[in-house]
Amino acid sequence: MSANKDMNLTLKIWRQKDAQSKGKLTTYQVSNISPDSSFLEMLDVLNEELINKGEDPVAFDHDCREGICGMCSLHINGEPHGPDRLITTCQLHMRKFKDGDTIYIEPWRAKAFPVLKDLIVDRSSFERIQQAGGFISVNTSGNTQDANAIPIPKVNADKAMDAATCIGCGACVAACKNSSAMLFVSAKVSQFALLPQGRVEAKDRVLNMVKAMDDEGFGNCTNTGACEVECPKGISLENIARMNREYLSATFG
Ligand code: SF4
Ligand code: FES
């Protein structure tokens, strides 16, 4: 049981019937919210009340609820994944707020992430970027070399692993004033660029993924760094610099 007092809150939530409709902020009150509950559990309480009243519950994305899948995607009081650092929305606790607070809850805002309903956006643009090059081709003839038999400098293995922790949530895009997807794409390029298995297709990968990113309508990077600040996995801007080097050498190399 929590030693802290339960909270009464005012929520201003973006409601939008479907992709074609115009949306608007709607005000709701929730009472007796435990500071130990998660942000999504607080929304579950609201939705249960709405369903009991015969109203349409608020649509929001979630799956694992433990910071792994990248599905949860809320803009909370103007910040992707809310006021805490290095966590996803599903890992945000209500103790970060105070009794009587008003909380603004909106979907990711970006042309390449159109709103489908309420707080759910279409992030299939990320999947199409991945399909353009976020993989390696391996001959599985039965004579495949064991990956562990290939020596890799520890520093590169660690950086590749750090890049691979990107969960594709899209907070970097939502945080960026240009709606740039550079942090996401650079993490996906870097996780392969740093490893010998990824070098074989490195040139095509970076050219194709950057082209897919541009085709999807993401904005340009102007090095403001908001993406790195809001990324729940701490993906470093160093990856963007690496992707730019990869791109230049693929273009002129
Ligand atoms: S780089 Fe960070 S913020 Fe962007 S999609 Fe990956 S995990 Fe999410
Ligand atoms: S629901 Fe999976 S990361 Fe939040």
Q: Whole-angstrom distance between the N-terminal and C-terminal Cα of the chain? A: 62
Question: What is the fold, at CATH topology level, of the domain defined by 7-116?
Answer: Ubiquitin-like (UB roll) (3.10.20)
In this prediction, residue 144 carries a pLDDT of: 78
Q: Where are the domains of the chain?
A: 7-116, 123-140+149-252
CA–CA gap between residue 213 and residue 218 (Å, rounded): 6
In the chain, the amino acid numbered 18 is: D
- Which residues share a beta bridge with 76? 79, 105
In this prediction, residue 159 carries a pLDDT of: 98
- Those residues with Cβ within 8 angstroms of residue 216's Cβ, 6 or more apart along the chain or in another chain: 112, 125, 128, 129, 181
Strands 24-33, 75-76: pairing is unpaired
**Which ligand 2 atom minimizes the distance to the CA of 70?**
3
Query: Which class in CATH covers the domain with range 123-140+149-252?
Result: mainly alpha
In this prediction, residue 141 carries a pLDDT of: 80
- Between the CA of 111 and the centroid of ligand 1 the distance, in Å, is 17
pTM: 0.96
155 — phi, psi (to 5°)?
-60, -40
Q: Are 13 and 105 in contact (CB under 8 A)?
A: yes
pLDDT in tens, the chain (253 residues): 445 799 999 999 999 999 999 999 999 999 999 999 999 999 999 999 999 999 999 999 999 999 999 999 999 999 999 999 999 999 999 999 999 999 999 999 999 999 999 999 999 999 999 999 999 998 778 887 787 899 999 999 999 999 999 999 999 999 999 999 999 999 999 999 999 999 999 999 999 999 999 999 999 999 999 999 999 999 999 999 999 999 999 999 7
16 — phi, psi (to 5°)?
-150, 120
Protein residue closest via CA to atom 2 of ligand 1: 231
**Ligand 2 in reach of 90 Cβ (< 6 A):** yes
**Which ligand 1 atom minimizes the distance to the CA of 170?**
5
Burial letters 78-95, b for 16+ CB under 10 A, else e: ebbbbebeebbbbbbbbe
In this prediction, residue 52 carries a pLDDT of: 98
